[in-house]
Amino acid sequence: MNYKLLHIFRNTPFGRETFLQSLYFCKTINAHPVVYIPKTDKFLMYFANDVVQVNLDNSFLAFPDTAREHVIALFDEAGIPPRFYEPKNFTASTLPDISSQFDYMCSPRSISDLSSKIGLGLLGPKVRRMIKQATFPILIASPVFKAWQSISVFFGGSANAMNALVLGLKIAIASGFPLKIYTVLENDNEDVYRDMVRNSELEELVDQYVIEWCFYESSGFDRMLYEVPHDSLIVLGAYGHGVIKEILLGSKMEHIQSTVTNNLLVTGPNCRISLESATQA
Amino acid sequence: MNRLKRIYNLFYAKFFLFDDRLVLMTAGAVVGVFAGGAAVALRLSLASVLEFFAPYRQYAWAFILPGIGALCSFLFLDKVVREGAGHGVPEVIYAVSRRGGLLRFRSTFSRLVSSFLTIASGGSAGPEAPVVMSGSAIGSNIGKFLGLNDRQRMTLVGCGTAGAIASIFHAPVAGLIFSVEIILGEWKFINIIPIAIAAVAGAQISEAIIPEKELFQHHPFDIFAGDILGSIGLALFTALISVIFTRTLRRVGALAKRTPVSPWLRALIGGCAVGTIGIFMPIVLGEGYHPIMEMVSGTFPMAFWLIFLGVFLKIFVTAITLGWGGSGGIFAPCLVLGSLTGVVFYKAMMFVFPNAAVTSEGAYALLGMAGIMSGVMQAPLSSIFLIAEITGGYEAILLLLLVSSISSTLSHIIEPSSFYFKDLIERGEFMRPGTDARILSDLSLNEIIDTSYITVSENMVFREFINIIRNSNRNHYPVISDETGDYLGMVRVSSIRKYALDPAFYDMIFLNQIMDTDMVTASFDDDLHDVLEFMETFNIDHIPVVEHHRFSGMISKARILDLYRRELIMQTNIQ
């Protein structure tokens, strides 16, 4: 496989944890991390129908003299040759355009003086917008490095959830880790969900790679979150609602990411996941 | 909810999909109204605040006002809305040129606020570039909201520009021409109608809120034969001043970047310097519409040497304002500078030829504006129609044509790219529609790249490879490292003939011994135009795409040319 993950490096102990997570993710699925060391506190990502400005907090610009050295050391430790990303285009002199031609991206988290925003806090509309527009899944790394040993797919039956299931299978094939599916029954019985999988021609792969499919009553969402193994990579689909839709409809993803400490891999509505290369491998 | 969605889909299918021109015309009118509204809001707020500060400008402490304004403007842009630095118009051109007209939502208001802070406090800048940025961003975001494609969205960006210019100057024709000549760079039927509608909508909004006939009214001019010679002389003079202005703007901006002080302090220092000059020469402050009005109507009271000094001080304070952290455009400074230049030239001409039968000082101020704008923007049509519309000086249209043509041609010879385009050209990101570079840049490398190539291992024995090529019709086989998965080189069927014909080699050699490691590679960041040029120069038909040492696929010249033809047909069919 020839997958690339974009990682925005932060030269702080917190940033090291996130980068270790990216390295582990890449080693596990045989992808390659490409590191961007920011020189400005913001950058743009152009997608097909939107442009997203990512604002970084000052910690991303900390100790620029040692950033590259630290990245190389962590790459060496992981046994992966270092690769860096240098922006070629600039919308304005202080506003580089970062390519959106990646297969995965590790989402930068902001550090704020407000403790509620550190780690398990609000992801915010910016990351959600990126999830909405990106053609690749977004890895939201746990605040502290945690080597995941299994995969948990949250499957609710929507198109995004189906995408997440495909991605979960892809990661399971690449990593060899066991895969579990978690479903909260929303007025339907289990067969409805099984039929969805059958109709999408994933049944064979699901039978082969999924070790368990857990169903919960509609009120059992939080119980389900508790029962997900702490060292599991959670794969889920999200719509990437904006602020207004979030106020009106709420955000399951925000609830999940503020409740569990696991690594999350989120697919958005524009995410294109293909199993072709994974099954060939 | 579902019923609503069905009604919407039905309406969308019946109305919008019937003809996309209807979409663009409707959306263009909406964009024109919003862009016009934004321009009027900025103009009215500037007028009221400038009036409020006017009595205080004479005091010595007033020098600090532009400093505070520039500081607030910088902090607003950098810390509050976190926009990148820039004048506005080049960003819009970049968005159209390279990014399918995508502009951020925050750009709909950010430059309006920051330029308001800069200009209202006395900084020498114009409100026009910010309203262009704002209008274009409104168009882009409405296009995004409607889910339009790149070309439709770019037309709406043009609509926003036209609506904004039409509104702020009461000049719909100039809005239309500026949008097409500077921003979009292409005259197409599909663009012109929605942009014209947007320009009319913008002008009407402005007319409804600020009922004035022309921005700079004047008495009718009597044009004489001698004015032709006078106009030629003025055109040469304005071309020279335009080049000085463009170069000063860039050099002062570059100097600011090299100055070892923090950007906010730089904005404060620059603003205070502008304020200090403004105490002695108040006409250089602000957007300068009032002195223009006096010069066009022939009632400007200053002496020749002071006006001459004013020309250079205006250049300097504009460069300081924009280069050292303030926000705004060069449109209004061009108008002030042009009218000052015109008046200086007229006074000098009358001093040398006191009995010359020529038109009035006001007409030369007007011609000077056209000359400077044409020289700086190198967009003669926009300048001619803008000056004619904002002054109502249609009787001088022949002289306007003469001055604009000579000034833009001469400036182009001395300074081959206009102020708006220079940075983009230097960065290789200025691509006008219809050019090879633009058509190729509109193609995605993902469309061109062929990823179905069979990769082979570096340690593969030649016999095994022979079995692979026996069952494949490919001529290129990328060799991959077993250990890292990195791309190592390429095996070309044409270059292994001698081994293939001799079975003795089959078990003796490995692919890493015969692969071509010197084959040039491309990456996803490379411009297709450069890749194609490279293939032409070195006469190669295939080039591997290697991204971060990993083989991603191959690009073939035939595939590029196929898609180039398809894109060309698509772009020309739109007409």
Residue of A46 and A242 predicted with greater confidence: A46
Residue A259 Cα, gap to closest chain B Cα (Å): 31
**Predicted local confidence at residue A198, as pLDDT:** 85
Hey, where are the domains in chain B? Answer: 2-209, 226-427, 438-573
Q: Looking at the complex, does the CB of residue B455 fall below 8 Å from at least one CB of chain A?
A: no
Secondary structure letter of residue B475 according to DSSP: S
**Predicted local confidence at residue A115, as pLDDT:** 46
Print the SS3 string covering chain A: CCEEEEEECCCCHHHHHHHHHHHHHHHHHCEEEEEECCCCCEEEEECCCCEEEEECCHHHHCCHHHHHHHHHHHHHHHCCCCCECCCCEEEECCEEEECCCCCEEECCCCCCCCHHHCCCCCCCHHHHHHHHHCCCCEEECCCCCCCCCEEEEECCCCHHHHHHHHHHHHHHHHHCCCEEEEEECCCCCHHHHHHHHHHCCCHHHHHHHEEEEEEECCCCHHHHHHHCCCCEEEEEECCCCCHHHHHHHCCHHHHHHCCCCCCEEEECCCCCCCCHHHHHC
Number of H helices, E strands in chain B: 25, 5
Find tokens 């550190």 and name the residue. Answer: A118
**Predicted local confidence at residue A245, as pLDDT:** 59
Which residues of B fall within a CB distance of 8 Å from A88?
Answer: 525
Are the Cβ atoms of B552 and A2 closer than 8 angstroms?
yes
Please tell me the CATH code under which domain B438-573 is placed.
Answer: 3.10.580.10
Residue A278 binned pLDDT confidence (cut-offs 50, 70, 90): low
- Residues B96 and B286: beta-carbon distance below 8 Å: no
- Residues B391 and B216: beta-carbon distance below 8 Å: yes
Entry pTM: 0.82
Which residues of A fall within a CB distance of 8 Å from B550?
Answer: 2, 4, 32
Quote the tokens at residue A126.
């910016």
Hey, where are the domains in chain A? Answer: 3-140, 150-280
Secondary structure of residue B30 in the 3-state scheme: helix
The CATH label, of 3.40.50.300, 3.40.30.10, 1.25.40.10, 1.10.3080.10, for the domain at B2-209 is 1.10.3080.10
**Predicted local confidence at residue B571, as pLDDT:** 67
C-alpha angle B328-B364-B415 in degrees, rounded to nearest 5: 55
Q: Looking at the complex, does the CB of residue A49 fall below 8 Å from at least one CB of chain B?
A: yes
Q: Which residue of A has its CA nearest to B257?
A: A93
* Interstrand relation of B542-547 and B550-556 (parallel, antiparallel or unpaired): antiparallel
Are the Cβ atoms of B102 and A50 closer than 8 angstroms?
yes
Which residues of A fall within a CB distance of 8 Å from B445?
Answer: 101
Residue A124: phi and psi, rounded to 5, are 95, 160
Q: Give Cα separations from B403 to B220, B375, B388 (angstroms).
A: 19, 10, 13
How do residues A169-189 score in pLDDT, each as one tens digit? 999 998 889 999 998 887 668
Give the C-alpha separation, B295 to B292, whole Å: 5
Please tell me the CATH code under which domain A150-280 is placed.
Answer: 3.40.50.620
**Predicted local confidence at residue B142, as pLDDT:** 94
Q: Looking at the complex, does the CB of residue B99 fall below 8 Å from at least one CB of chain A?
A: yes
**Predicted local confidence at residue A71, as pLDDT:** 93
Residue of B333 and A275 predicted with greater confidence: B333
What's the topology of domain B226-427? Clc chloride channel (1.10.3080)
Question: Could you report the average pLDDT of every consecutive run of 10 residues in chain B (575 residues)?
Answer: 69 65 90 94 90 84 89 88 78 88 91 90 88 94 89 93 92 92 85 93 91 74 84 94 93 86 88 90 86 87 90 93 86 92 93 85 91 91 87 83 93 88 81 75 77 86 87 86 84 83 82 85 79 83 83 86 80 56
Could you tell me the end-to-end alpha-carbon distance of chain B, in angstroms, rounded to an integer? Answer: 39
Give the C-alpha separation, B294 to B345, whole Å: 16
Give the C-alpha separation, B128 to B328, whole Å: 8
Hey, do A3-140 and A150-280 end up sharing a CATH topology, with the first three levels equal? yes
Are the Cβ atoms of A81 and B525 closer than 8 angstroms?
no
Hey, do B226-427 and B438-573 end up sharing a CATH topology, with the first three levels equal? no
Which residues of A fall within a CB distance of 8 Å from B484?
Answer: 81
- Give the class (CATH, top level) of A3-140: alpha beta
Residue A116 binned pLDDT confidence (cut-offs 50, 70, 90): very low
What value does the mean pLDDT take over residues A190-194? 84
Residue A246 binned pLDDT confidence (cut-offs 50, 70, 90): low
